[in-house]
Amino acid sequence: MADPFEVRMRFTHHLRQLNASVTSAQKAAQYALKYRDMAEDLHSCILEQLERNNMNMRANIMYFIEHFLDMAHRDGHHEYVGMMQRDIIRVVDAVAPDDGSGAANIKVVRKVLHALQSKSFLDAQVVSQIEEVLKERDASAQDINLLSSPPEASDENGASSRSHGHSSHHHHHRRGAHHRGPPKLDKRQIEQRIEEDRERHKRQRENIWAIPPGEDAELQKLWEETSDLGEDDHRMGEEEYAEWKSQMKAAKCVHQREAERNGTYS
């Protein structure tokens, strides 16, 4: 039933549905793994969507890639990882292009690249090279924001002719002339992006308290990390005890109060 056209279409559909939630990423990833004999095809789908959609979408796809490679690696399907390694430059170019329109995505790219490096999907050298390029793009993007006038289609690829990022403040905006940059985001898309970022931040904070799975995991964690008994513990104990005593006292029944008043205790 694996009609390649249909599979491509379906997968593209999944990619376009990507948002900040983990579920959407999981669905897309599962689909791709299911049809992994068409890995090349589906990989090219990813690249295609990266180059076609707006900046928000591209950021979502970037996050998806991280999640996806995780799952692929876990299941032992290394084709996807390999293809991504090969095409990572293209991906970065799409998500954070040098014309400054990808300014919002530079952090995304950095984060995902570092994550991929730490899982050894990407070479450290490759990552540091890309990092350099990113830095320059970041600076030029700030330029554009500062000057805030429509960028002109000036000379060729500004990234290669630039010296180093820091001196770029008084350089005027560069623009890659080899293609018109992706369209500017409209208000609704900006709001959507804000929402999605918020969602992602919330999930990130989870990692602070989330307990790793495993029988004794939390116990171990607490045993290692908890400090010794201290002043504040005793203070807490005193306060709780005082509160408890007063509540128990207030709860005394009429017989007990009477007995107290009479100096006897029933």
Partner 1 sequence: MAPQPDQSPAPAVNGTTAEEHPPIGPPSGLSVIRTQYSSEQSLRQMLKNIGYDEAREDTLRLKGVQLIDTVRQSLQLPVRTFDTAAIYYHKFRMRFPSHEYAYEDVALASLFVACKAEDTIKKSKEILCAAHNLRQPHDHKTPDDKVFEPQTRVIIGLERYILETIGFDFRVQYPQKLLIKMVRKMFPREDASQQEEGKQFLRVAYDMAIDIYKTFAPIKQTSFTLVLAILELTSLLLDTDAEKMRAFKEAASWHSEKAAVFETLLDLLDLYTQFPKSTKIGLRFELKKLMDVKIEINNLMTREKYQRYQGWCDRCAPDPHDTRSLTPSSITSPATNPSLSGTTSVKRKATSTEGTMRFVFDADEARKEKALVDRYFIDEYEEHEIEVEEPIKEPEPRHNSRNTHPPHRGMQGDHGWPGYHRSSRHGLHNDRHRSRRGHGY
Task: Compare residues 34 and 202 and give the one whose CB is closer to partner 1.
Answer: 202
Residue 174, classified by CB atoms within 10 Å of its CB into exposed (0-12), middle (13-18) or buried (19+), is buried
* Residue 265 near partner 1 by CB under 8 A: no
**CA–CA separation, 99 and 261 (whole Å):** 86
Helix (H, G, I), strand (E, B), or coil: what is residue 192?
A: helix
- Which residues, 183 to 202, sit near partner 1 by CB under 8 A? 202
Tokens of 254: 């009429």
C-alpha separations of 257 from 87, 128, 245, 246, 248 in Å: 82, 77, 15, 14, 12
* Residue 146 near partner 1 by CB under 8 A: no
- Which residues, 31 to 60, sit near partner 1 by CB under 8 A? none
* Residue 264 near partner 1 by CB under 8 A: no
Task: Compare residues 76 and 213 and give the one whose CB is closer to partner 1.
Answer: 213
When binding is defined by CB under 8 A, the residue of 75, 155, 241, 260 that contacts partner 1 is 241
When binding is defined by CB under 8 A, the residue of 123, 191, 256, 260 that contacts partner 1 is 256
- Which residues, 206 to 235, sit near partner 1 by CB under 8 A? 206, 209-213, 216, 218-219, 222-223, 226-229, 233-234
In the complex, least distance from residue 207 CB atom to partner 1, rounded to whole angstroms: 10
When binding is defined by CB under 8 A, the residue of 146, 253, 262, 264 that contacts partner 1 is 253
In the complex, least distance from residue 25 CB atom to partner 1, rounded to whole angstroms: 11
C-beta separation of 77 from 124 below 8 A: no
C-beta separation of 84 from 162 below 8 A: no
Tokens of 7: 């599979």
**CA–CA separation, 81 and 62 (whole Å):** 14
In the complex, least distance from residue 210 CB atom to partner 1, rounded to whole angstroms: 4
Write the DSSP assignment of 117-175 as a string of letters: HHTTSS-HHHHHHHHHHHHHHHHHHHHHHHH-SPPP--SS-HHHH---GGGGGGSPPP-
Angle made by CA atoms 143, 147, 148, in degrees to the nearest 5: 105
When binding is defined by CB under 8 A, the residue of 125, 251, 261, 264 that contacts partner 1 is 251
When binding is defined by CB under 8 A, the residue of 8, 10, 26, 157 that contacts partner 1 is 26
When binding is defined by CB under 8 A, the residue of 8, 10, 12, 21 that contacts partner 1 is 21
Task: Compare residues 152 and 233 and give the one whose CB is closer to partner 1.
Answer: 233
Coarse DSSP helix, strand, coil percentages of the chain, rounded to the nearest 5 percent: 70, 0, 30
Q: Which residues bind partner 1 (CB under 8 A)?
A: 21, 23, 26-27, 202, 206, 209-213, 216, 218-219, 222-223, 226-229, 233-234, 236-238, 240-241, 243-244, 246-248, 250-256, 266
